[in-house]
């Protein structure tokens, strides 16, 4: 998977030049890094499960990109993709993750006690707090490449592990193909339901095959801890609640993740992780922590300030609309989250969000009173 | 070949497999399942029953015919190019279908797909082509336009006439499976051949990657330009990969003969003109097709064809002639008559809106064309359209005068 690349051997009868994609109109990391010589060296390779170079880059070939936003343009089909195709992926990772070198080591820190503060973001401004990441189960191919049998096995394992969670993490699984109308409506109302991907970035990589087979949503009874199964990654893990108590959200996130990891290990499975890339996920942009910690925060004045973007960049934060990536901000409410994923630990990133959002709210309050904020503008983190 | 499989077997991943695959797996999953035809052994870690798609909500020809037993038999086979049954059926798994319209739900990745996966394709073909049994029947090819009787319609009713088909270049994989180099080779072979057309067929090629803004606008105005497929039926089959690389449009200077390259098929060939001279449209169609065939043969290529299935195309629905001959015809009264559908059925015609398949009729103007593709020749199908459309026009005229109309007796489908 995806199509047309079933067998790499058949393709080798054509020269590398004849097969090389036309990337003249492209603007993504893959197109920036791939050269004909590199293509020639890598096209004879395959991961043990049969994922090929063309499989890695198909999404980047099919989606030339946006003139202003740099998409990654490649995906992994399994854990070994990052090894076998490192000649392409290491520079892509380096470029995408702010200079992270092939020899760098990534630090994992899921101890919420290491987070300073974060329990007092002003709820008049910070409407909700959320932390998400992804996890892949070692030994199984990733969404672009997995067979139906594998995807179902991932679902089965995940559901069994999640069923063993207890206390405030106790919950229930809703398979996409079995849920009732009522369940579906409830999940929509709770903003939990994910839909079949429509983005051509995802579709072109084959992640939506066989929808909705083996896809589902698990959440705890309190509706504060949520796991998506077999959407863009094997698992997406989300901790969220209304208000500004990011520390609580992060604590539940860490506790939940650690428990889930233990439950998988008890059943003989590990998450894909290594000390260079951290947690391994489908998209190279989500390597390392795979973590996006964010808030929905009211910044109507701040967002109109000429230095808003600059300040966000200095704080290593990014803004999105409240519908998520590629949406617009509504009513001056922004989704503010960490820009980094790799090269910083989970605690580091959440700390940046907590400190950064606190500062932004300070600035917002000043601007409300017509006061200047220049002396608050931070140095580059 | 053996080395990549031993790599799979020795991979540390396999340690985990035993513990997680339950049910009836036993020791079967690690076995070396060989291909029936050339090509490397597939990676298969689960038994066929664990891989069998969930088709309970599906309504397409693939879902109706793919039993677990057939799937189990085919799931470890591949064509010499490496195309598999999972790839062939992916579009049908991803698109459950419409409760009222039954889609085919599978595609061929190459000519050999129709042989290697015959256990599924033969019953699908039989169902889709109204009982044509590829195991025992032969398909007649006839591109002799002189055999057509009448074929010039009343232009007060028929606004335009069109005949289309597709042709595939033998030896190159089809759009769902082709590599970039293969697709570029198709383009090269066809464009090279087309440059040899002369007289009223002389024309020019417009590559999708190279055309200018002006050329693009002209092609849009002429209604010639095709766009990247958006239908999930096509995108799920992988036909839109690498767009717009090696795709283009060729047309003659008179704009009556048009060829699409590397859209849903290697080539789609279209003859058309305003008005009701279907005979001339078909004559040009046959002449153009034969000339293109001669030109590619000069260069050592040929079209995919066999006597069981006729011309081989990507979608099983287009086998045989791959031919759709149709008119845009004004039938405002007949179009509202409750017997319209039955009349069309019996005449072996189908209606579409004037935007093509899946569109609505505007201002009482219908696109009327042949229902059948396989089991009857080109000449037979075009004659069916001519006779049928003449009948429909007669009905419309009678309704205009307040006279009654009759539902005709159903036509025989094909000679067994």
Residue-level pLDDT at B1: 37
pTM of the model: 0.88
Out of A15, A21, A211, closest to residue B242 by CB: A21
DSSP A112: G
Do A149 and A43 fall into the same domain? Answer: no
The answer to whether residue B297 neighbours chain A at the CB level (below 8 Å) is no
Contacts of B179 in chain A (CB under 8 A): 4-5, 10-11, 14, 19, 54
Out of A21, A139, A267, closest to residue B180 by CB: A21
Q: Do B242 and A62 touch (CB under 8 A)?
A: yes
CATH classification code of B1-129: 1.10.135.10
Q: Do A6 and B78 touch (CB under 8 A)?
A: yes
User: What is the number of alpha carbons within 13 Å of residue A8 lying toward its C-beta?
Assistant: 21
Q: Do A18 and B13 touch (CB under 8 A)?
A: no
pLDDT digits (tens, 9 = 90+) for B157-167: 999 999 999 99
Residue-level pLDDT at B359: 67
User: What is the number of alpha carbons within 13 Å of residue A62 lying toward its C-beta?
Assistant: 25
Nearest-Cα distance to chain A for B322, in Å, is 23
Out of A3, A210, A267, closest to residue B87 by CB: A3
Do A190 and A235 fall into the same domain? Answer: yes
Average pLDDT over residues B202-224: 92
Does A104 fall in a domain?
A: no
Do A248 and A324 fall into the same domain? Answer: yes
Q: Do B13 and A6 touch (CB under 8 A)?
A: no
What confidence category does residue B26 fall into, taking pLDDT thresholds of 50, 70 and 90? very low
Contacts of A14 in chain B (CB under 8 A): 179, 181-182
Residue-level pLDDT at B13: 36
C-beta of residue B398 within 8 angstroms of C-beta of residue B337: no
The answer to whether residue B351 neighbours chain A at the CB level (below 8 Å) is no
Out of A14, A149, A209, closest to residue B179 by CB: A14
C-beta of residue A207 within 8 angstroms of C-beta of residue A234: no
Which residues on adjacent β-strands are paired with residue A28? A71
* Cα–Cα distance for residue pair A143/A78, rounded to 1 Å: 9
* Cα–Cα distance for residue pair A84/B233, rounded to 1 Å: 33
C-beta of residue A64 within 8 angstroms of C-beta of residue A27: yes
Q: Which two tokens stand for residue B22?
A: 């339950």
Q: Do B21 and A153 touch (CB under 8 A)?
A: yes
Nearest-Cα distance to chain A for B74, in Å, is 15
H or E element that contains B4: helix B2-10
Q: Is the pLDDT of residue B379 over 50?
A: yes
Residue-level pLDDT at B362: 77
Do A287 and A198 fall into the same domain? Answer: yes
Do A173 and A311 fall into the same domain? Answer: yes
Out of A6, A50, A210, closest to residue B53 by CB: A210
**pLDDT per residue of chain A (381 residues) written in tens, 0 to 9:** 444 345 677 888 999 999 999 999 999 999 999 999 999 999 999 999 999 999 999 999 999 997 677 999 999 999 999 999 999 999 999 999 999 999 999 999 999 999 999 998 999 999 999 999 999 999 999 999 999 999 999 999 999 999 999 999 999 999 999 999 899 999 988 888 888 888 899 999 999 999 999 999 999 999 999 999 999 999 999 999 999 999 999 999 999 999 999 999 999 999 999 999 999 999 999 999 999 999 999 999 999 999 999 999 999 999 988 766 666 777 889 999 999 999 999 999 999 999 999 999 999 999 999 999 989 988 988
If contacts are CB pairs under 8 Å, which of residues 87-116 in chain B contact chain A? 87, 90, 93-94, 109
Do A90 and A117 fall into the same domain? Answer: no
Mean pLDDT of chain B: 88
pLDDT digits (tens, 9 = 90+) for B77-92: 999 999 999 999 999 9
The answer to whether residue A229 neighbours chain B at the CB level (below 8 Å) is no
Q: Do B245 and A48 touch (CB under 8 A)?
A: no
Sequence-ordered strand ranges (E) for B170-216: 203-207
Residue-level pLDDT at A3: 42
Does A374 fall in a domain?
A: no
Q: Do A19 and B8 touch (CB under 8 A)?
A: no
**Side by side, which strands form the sheet with B203-207?**
B203-207, B248-252, B257-261, B267-274, B158-167, B324-330, B365-370, B349-352
C-beta of residue B207 within 8 angstroms of C-beta of residue B213: no
C-beta of residue A73 within 8 angstroms of C-beta of residue A311: no
Long-range residue pairs from B388-392, CB within 8 A, at least 24 positions apart, any chain: B388/B344, B388/B347, B388/B348, B388/B349, B389/B153, B389/B158, B389/B278, B389/B327, B389/B329, B389/B349, B390/B150, B390/B153, B391/B343, B391/B347, B392/B329, B392/B331, B392/B334, B392/B343, B392/B347, B392/B349, B392/B368
Quick one: how many helices (H) and strands (E) in chain B?
Answer: 14, 10
Residue-level pLDDT at B401: 97
The answer to whether residue A124 neighbours chain B at the CB level (below 8 Å) is no
- From residue A195, give the alpha-carbon distance in Å to each of A52, A143, A154, A217, B283: 28, 15, 19, 11, 50
* Cα–Cα distance for residue pair B239/B245, rounded to 1 Å: 12
Q: Which two tokens stand for residue A365?
A: 């309050």
Does A225 fall in a domain?
A: yes
Residue-level pLDDT at B23: 34
Q: Do A11 and B242 touch (CB under 8 A)?
A: no
C-beta of residue A367 within 8 angstroms of C-beta of residue A373: yes
Q: Cα–Cα–Cα angle for A198, A201, A206, nearest 5°?
A: 80
Please tell me which residue of chain A has the smallest CA distance to B17.
A139
Do A187 and A322 fall into the same domain? Answer: yes
Contacts of B16 in chain A (CB under 8 A): 138-139, 268-269
Q: Do B84 and A6 touch (CB under 8 A)?
A: yes
Do A187 and A270 fall into the same domain? Answer: yes
C-beta of residue A267 within 8 angstroms of C-beta of residue A159: no
If contacts are CB pairs under 8 Å, which of residues 30-59 in chain A contact chain B? 46, 48-50, 54, 58
Contacts of B76 in chain A (CB under 8 A): none
What confidence category does residue B228 fall into, taking pLDDT thresholds of 50, 70 and 90? confident
Q: Do B87 and A22 touch (CB under 8 A)?
A: no
B251 assigned ligand-binding residue:
no
* Cα–Cα distance for residue pair A198/B72, rounded to 1 Å: 32
The answer to whether residue A198 neighbours chain B at the CB level (below 8 Å) is no
Domain of A273, CATH number, reads 3.30.590.10
Nearest-Cα distance to chain A for B217, in Å, is 20
Structural domains of chain A, count: 2
Do A203 and A156 fall into the same domain? Answer: yes
Please tell me which residue of chain B has the smallest CA distance to A198.
B232
Which CATH architecture describes the domain B145-401? 2-Layer Sandwich (3.30)
Contacts of A48 in chain B (CB under 8 A): 4, 7-8, 11, 13
C-beta of residue B91 within 8 angstroms of C-beta of residue B106: yes
Q: Is the pLDDT of residue B6 over 50?
A: no
Please tell me which residue of chain A has the smallest CA distance to B176.
A4
pLDDT digits (tens, 9 = 90+) for B233-263: 999 999 999 999 999 999 999 999 999 999 9
What confidence category does residue B45 fall into, taking pLDDT thresholds of 50, 70 and 90? confident
Question: What does the domain layout of chain B look like in residue ranges?
Answer: 1-129, 145-401
Residue B107's φ and ψ, nearest 5 degrees, are -135, 165
Contacts of B235 in chain A (CB under 8 A): 203
ipTM above 0.85, yes or no: yes
Find the domain containing A336 and state its range.
110-367
Do A247 and A171 fall into the same domain? Answer: yes
Residue-level pLDDT at B357: 63
What confidence category does residue B391 fall into, taking pLDDT thresholds of 50, 70 and 90? very high
Q: Do B94 and A3 touch (CB under 8 A)?
A: no
Residue-level pLDDT at B415: 55
Out of A11, A156, A208, closest to residue B179 by CB: A11
Residue B317: other Cβ atoms inside 10 A: 18
The answer to whether residue B23 neighbours chain A at the CB level (below 8 Å) is no
* Cα–Cα distance for residue pair A171/A180, rounded to 1 Å: 17
Do A52 and A149 fall into the same domain? Answer: no
Do A81 and A120 fall into the same domain? Answer: no
Domain of A51, CATH number, reads 1.10.135.10
The answer to whether residue A20 neighbours chain B at the CB level (below 8 Å) is yes
Instruction: Give the distance from CA B366 to its chain's centroid.
Output: 22
Q: Which of A149, A152, A159, A230 is nearest to A197 (CA)?
A: A230
Residue B166: CB partners within 8 Å, gap ≥ 6?
B264, B265, B266, B267, B268, B269, B311, B313, B314, B318, B322
H or E element that contains A353: helix A346-368
Residue A225's φ and ψ, nearest 5 degrees, are -140, 125
Higher pLDDT among residues B200 and A196, named by residue: B200
What angle do the packed helices B278-298 and B378-400 form, to 10 degrees?
160
Residue-level pLDDT at A381: 87
């Amino acid at each position: 998977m995806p199509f047309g690349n079933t067998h790499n051997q058949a393709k080798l009868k054509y020269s590398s030049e004849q097969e090389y994609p036309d990337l003249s109109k492209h603007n993504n990391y893959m197109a920036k890094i791939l050269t004909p010589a590199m293509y020639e060296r890598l096209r004879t390779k395959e991961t043990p499960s049969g994922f090929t170079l063309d499989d890695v880059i198909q999404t980047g070939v099919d989606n030339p990109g946006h003139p202003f936003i740099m998409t990654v343009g490649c995906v992994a089909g399994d854990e070994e993709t990052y090894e076998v195709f490192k000649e392409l992926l290491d520079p892509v990772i380096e470029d995408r993750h702010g200079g992270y070198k092939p020899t760098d080591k990534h630090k994992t820190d899921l101890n919420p006690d290491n987070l300073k503060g974060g329990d007092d973001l002003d709820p008049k401004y910070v409407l909700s707090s959320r932390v998400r990441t992804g996890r892949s189960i070692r030994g199984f191919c990733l969404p672009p490449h997995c067979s139906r049998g594998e995807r179902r096995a991932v679902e089965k394992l995940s559901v069994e592990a999640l069923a063993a969670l207890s206390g405030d993490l106790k919950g229930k699984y809703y398979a996409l193909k079995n849920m009732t109308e009522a369940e579906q409506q409830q999940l929509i109302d709770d903003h939990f339901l994910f839909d079949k991907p429509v983005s051509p970035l995802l579709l072109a990589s084959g992640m939506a095959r066989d929808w909705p087979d083996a896809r589902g949503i698990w959440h705890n009874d309190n509706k504060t801890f949520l796991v998506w199964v077999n959407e863009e990654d094997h698992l997406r893990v989300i901790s969220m609640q209304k208000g500004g108590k990011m520390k609580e959200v992060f604590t539940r996130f860490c506790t939940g993740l650690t428990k889930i990891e233990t439950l998988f290990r008890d059943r003989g499975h590990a998450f894909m992780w290594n000390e260079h890339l951290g947690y391994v996920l489908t998209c190279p942009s989500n390597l390392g922590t795979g973590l996006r910690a964010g808030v929905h925060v009211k910044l109507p004045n701040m967002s109109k300030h000429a230095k808003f973007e600059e300040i966000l960049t200095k704080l290593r934060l990014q803004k999105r609309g409240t519908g998520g990536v590629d949406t617009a901000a509504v009513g001056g409410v922004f989704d503010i989250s960490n820009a980094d994923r790799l090269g910083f630990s989970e605690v580091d990133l959440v700390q940046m969000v907590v400190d950064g959002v606190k500062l932004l709210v300070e600035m917002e309050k000043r601007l409300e009173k017509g006061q200047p904020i220049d002396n608050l503008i931070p140095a580059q983190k | 070949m053996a080395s990549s499989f031993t790599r799979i077997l020795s991979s540390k991943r396999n340690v985990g497999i035993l513990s997680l695959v339950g049910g009836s797996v036993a020791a079967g999953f690690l076995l070396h399942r060989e291909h029936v035809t050339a090509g490397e052994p597939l990676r298969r870690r689960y038994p066929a029953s664990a891989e069998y798609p969930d088709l309970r909500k599906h309504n397409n020809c693939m879902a109706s015919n793919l039993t677990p037993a057939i799937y189990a038999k085919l799931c470890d086979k591949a064509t010499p190019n490496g195309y598999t049954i999972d790839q062939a059926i992916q579009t049908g798994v991803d698109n459950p279908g419409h409760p009222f319209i039954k889609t085919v739900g599978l595609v061929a990745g190459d000519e050999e797909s129709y042989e290697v996966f015959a256990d599924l394709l033969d019953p699908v073909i039989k169902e889709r082509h109204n009982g044509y049994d590829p195991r025992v029947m032969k398909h007649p090819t006839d591109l002799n336009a002189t055999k057509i009787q009448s074929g010039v319609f009343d232009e007060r009713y028929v606004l335009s006439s069109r005949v289309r088909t597709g042709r595939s270049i033998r030896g190159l994989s089809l759009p769902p499976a082709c590599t970039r180099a293969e697709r570029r080779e198709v383009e090269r072979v066809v464009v090279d051949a087309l440059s040899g057309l002369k007289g009223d067929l002389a024309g020019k090629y417009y590559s999708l990657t190279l055309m200018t803004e002006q050329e693009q606008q002209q092609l849009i105005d002429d209604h010639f330009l095709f766009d990247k497929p958006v239908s999930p039926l096509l995108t799920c089959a992988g036909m839109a990969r690498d767009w717009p690389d090696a795709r283009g449009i060729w047309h003659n200077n008179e704009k009556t003969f048009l060829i699409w390259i590397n859209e849903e098929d290697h080539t789609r060939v279209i003859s058309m003109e305003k008005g009701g001279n279907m005979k001339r449209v078909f004559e040009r169609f046959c002449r153009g097709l034969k000339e293109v065939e001669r030109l590619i043969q000069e260069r050592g290529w040929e079209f995919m064809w066999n006597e069981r299935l006729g011309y081989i195309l990507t979608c099983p629905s287009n086998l045989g002639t791959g031919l759709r001959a149709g008119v845009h015809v004004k039938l405002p009264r007949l179009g509202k008559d409750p017997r319209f559908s039955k009349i069309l059925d019996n005449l072996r015609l189908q209606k579409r809106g004037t935007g093509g398949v899946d569109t609505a009729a505007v201002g009482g103007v219908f696109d009327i064309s042949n229902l059948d593709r396989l089991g009857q020749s080109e000449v037979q199908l075009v004659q069916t359209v001519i006779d049928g459309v003449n009948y429909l026009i007669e009905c419309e005229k009678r309704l205009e005068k307040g006279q009654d109309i009759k539902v005709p007796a159903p036509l025989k489908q094909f000679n067994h």
